[in-house]
Structures are given as C-alpha cells and as structure tokens.
Structure 1
Amino acid sequence: ASNPDSSVLDLVSNAWAGFGAAFGPLVIFSLIWRGMNRNGAVAGMVVGALTVILWIYGPFQMNGMALNSWLFAIVPGFILSTIAIFAVSIMTGGPRESVSAKYREMELNLNK
C-alpha cells in the first residue's frame, strides 16, 4: 500500500499467493493423508508463506528480472510447503493415536 507503483490487483495477487502456498497443501494433506501431524502442518504453513514473501520481495533476480516476473510465487511456495509437510511429519513420527482414531472413524462414516 505504501508503494505508489503497485496496484490493488498486485496486492491481492500477492495475498492469494501467500494464502494458497501456506494453506493449500495443508488442506489437501489433511484430507488425503493420515500421516500428517501438527508439526508438519505448522512447518508447511511457515515454509509456504515465507517462500512467497521471499519470492516476491527478496533481493533475488533472474536475468535482471524479479523472480515473480518469471514464475508466480504460489508455485514454489506450494511445492516447498508440500515438501515441508511431508518431511516434518515423517521425521516427527506422524499423528497422535487419538487423531488417527478420529481419522479412521470419519473414514468409516464416509464409506457407509
């Protein structure tokens, strides 16, 4: 908002990239993979959001152009968030048994 050269569309686009990268993989994993845990979820949100922020506002360039000019920030954010969720969930031992039991219960209710 403080940059006179930016438009509302740019601001909204950047915000949706951040939300999509932080929460998109988290929602998908929570629906299809019972091995995700809280630590993996937090890691995915943090990595996705930070990736988008660095991709848009970081000092990195490719051929003299900002990275966001080459590839929309949600793409690397989504990919790195997915990797973080998977890796941290595996390294920290998966979800608690109470969460796994609830997942199985809901799965049975859906298959009726």
Structure 2
Amino acid sequence: MANYLITIIGPTAIGKTALSIELARHFKCDILSCDSRQFFKEMTIGTAVPLEAELAAAPHHFIQHISVFDPYTVGDFEREAITKLDELFAKNNVQIMVGGSGLYVDAILKGFDDF
C-alpha cells in the first residue's frame, strides 16, 4: 500500500493547525511539525505553538521537543523526521506534516542533499 504525506504549509495564523487536526482525526494519524521555531521549548511568543487542547486532539511530533541551548540543524531534523515517519507509516499509510519553514519542508520532501 502506498504511503501519503499530507503537507500543509503556509505563514503563521492561517489555520494550518485547525486543518491538520481535522485531517488527523479523519485519517486517525499523527501530525509532524516542520516549523523550525516551534521545535524549541523556550520559544512561545510569535510562534503560534498549538495550545494544550490542540496538542491533545491529535498526536503531535517535533513541538517544543528541544532547547534553544542544544545544537539542532536541518540535517538533525531530517534524520529524526524520516525515522519518525517510517515508524508512523508502519501503523498508518497517511500522515500529516504541517508548518511554514521551507528549508525543513524541503529536507523531508526532497532530501537535504538533493535540493
């Protein structure tokens, strides 16, 4: 069976989170954030990090999972996200990626070494 990665990309505050949660509920799948600012625990202002209720509505990954004081590159994200997607696709052939950081989106969709 083919795998499908629904990708929702755009600027802050256009409804990406609400749409991704609706789709995750429909497909019974997880949400991967590819927003480079939402990765960091300390960055809550200006990043539109999903609210606790939104995080509870569907499984999320890569939301406030690291500290700004820890080194973290797009290559790190690519490796971790591909590993996570492999795990998730083993359970459900539809997954969702949402965010607004083009470099991080391209790392997943095109491969870091290929764009």
Task: From the two aligned structures, give the one with the greater helix fraction.
Answer: 1
TM-score by length of structure 2 reads 0.29
Pick the structure with greater CA Rg. 1
TM-score by length of structure 1 reads 0.29
